[in-house]
Structure formats: C-alpha cells, structure tokens
Amino acid sequence: MRVSDLSPGSVEPLLRGRLGRPYRFVEECVSTQRLLEADEVEGTTVATDLQTHGRGRLGRTWETPAAKALLFSVLLRPRSPMALWPELSLVAGEAVAAAVRAEAGVDATLSHPNDVFVGGSKIAGILPEATAGRVVLGIGLNVNQTAEELPSGTPKPPTSLAIETGREWPRASLLASILAELEGGYDAWQQLHAVR
C-alpha cells in the first residue's frame, strides 16, 4: 500500500461512523462534486487522486499534482431549514481543522467562511453546493505537496502538511479523521437546528 493510497481497501477499514459509507474512489475526474447523483444516500463519499477542473469559491480554479492532496466530496441531507445550510461550510471547515490538529499536530484554524489556515497560509478549502434536499461538501486539503508544487501568486499563500511538518502523510487516515469530525459536528448542528 502506498502512503497516499485512497482505495476502498485502504479507507473503509478506517471509517468510524456513517459518513464515508458508501465510499468510492476514482483515479481522475473533472470534479468529485459531479460524481454524486441526486438519489444517493447521505454519507456517500467520492475521492480522487486528480481533479482536472477542481473549483474553489467565487469560481476560482484549484489544481494540484496527482495523489498529493486529499480531494473528496461528501453528500449530506440536512433536515434543518435550507436557509441555514450555508452554515455547513463552517461546520466542515471546523472538522477539517480539528482533524489536521489531531492527526498531524499542526495548529490549523478555520478562516471564515470556508478556508482552513496554518499560520498565515491556506491548507484547505471547502466548497458547499446545495440543491433540493441535499448539500454536497467538496473538500480539498493540501497534504504532500512541496512548495514548488503549490501555486504561486494566489490571493492567499498556500501551504501543505508536508511543508509544515517535514514529512509525508497517509491520506486515508486523514480522510477518515475528517469524516469522523464532520459527522460529530454535523450531528450537533442538526440537533441545534432541529425542526420541532
């Protein structure tokens, strides 16, 4: 198994809850956001090694070398009023920051509304897309890129876990940790905003 393997055989044994089930992996795609069908169940997650047209907020492009970042989308079906769904970007950002702190010991923090920073540099971003009855959270975390592999001239300077810690990180355990943190945060958010 490669350190960066995201195959089902590497990820599924690490999952701790319902998010990430079912789980699919594709080596390359346009965007993981486009791989989740309207009728799929909550928790369905798709990950990839390479997105050819990855996107960020405000229509910005998001590119990275293959198998260096954690790129995935997870489908949620919130029961709370749709007007509150934008808050899920914050819930997901907090989950990513918490997982990075727990797994890598890096002081990651949420930068509103949808970025995760280490110091003054961006390490992750969240792209929520809502349609009738569902929210798809697209998450990108810079994991094993070198400084040369990250884009220059961006509005927010990027970093990666490898740059911050001086070592490579297994993406499967990071993915499982993010999904576990997201599930806890999402469940608490749902309880707070439960329709009575």
Domain boundaries, the chain: 8-192
Q: What is the pLDDT of residue 58?
A: 47
CB burial readout 53-74, b (16+ within 10 A) else e: ebbbeeeeebebeebbbbbbbb
Rounded Cα gap, residues 95 and 88, in angstroms: 10
Q: What is the pLDDT of residue 11?
A: 97
Judge contact between 134 and 77, C-beta under 8 A.
Answer: yes
110: helix, coil or strand?
strand
pLDDT in tens, the chain (196 residues): 355 699 999 999 999 999 999 999 999 999 999 999 999 999 999 999 999 865 554 455 566 789 999 999 999 999 989 999 999 999 999 999 999 999 999 999 999 888 999 999 999 999 999 998 999 999 999 999 999 999 888 888 999 999 999 999 999 999 999 999 999 999 999 999 876 5
Rounded Cα gap, residues 180 and 167, in angstroms: 23
Closest CA to 119 of 108, 130, 104, 132: 108
Q: Which superfamily is assigned to 8-192 in CATH?
A: Bira Bifunctional Protein; Domain 2 (3.30.930.10)
Q: What is the pLDDT of residue 62?
A: 60
Judge contact between 33 and 135, C-beta under 8 A.
Answer: no
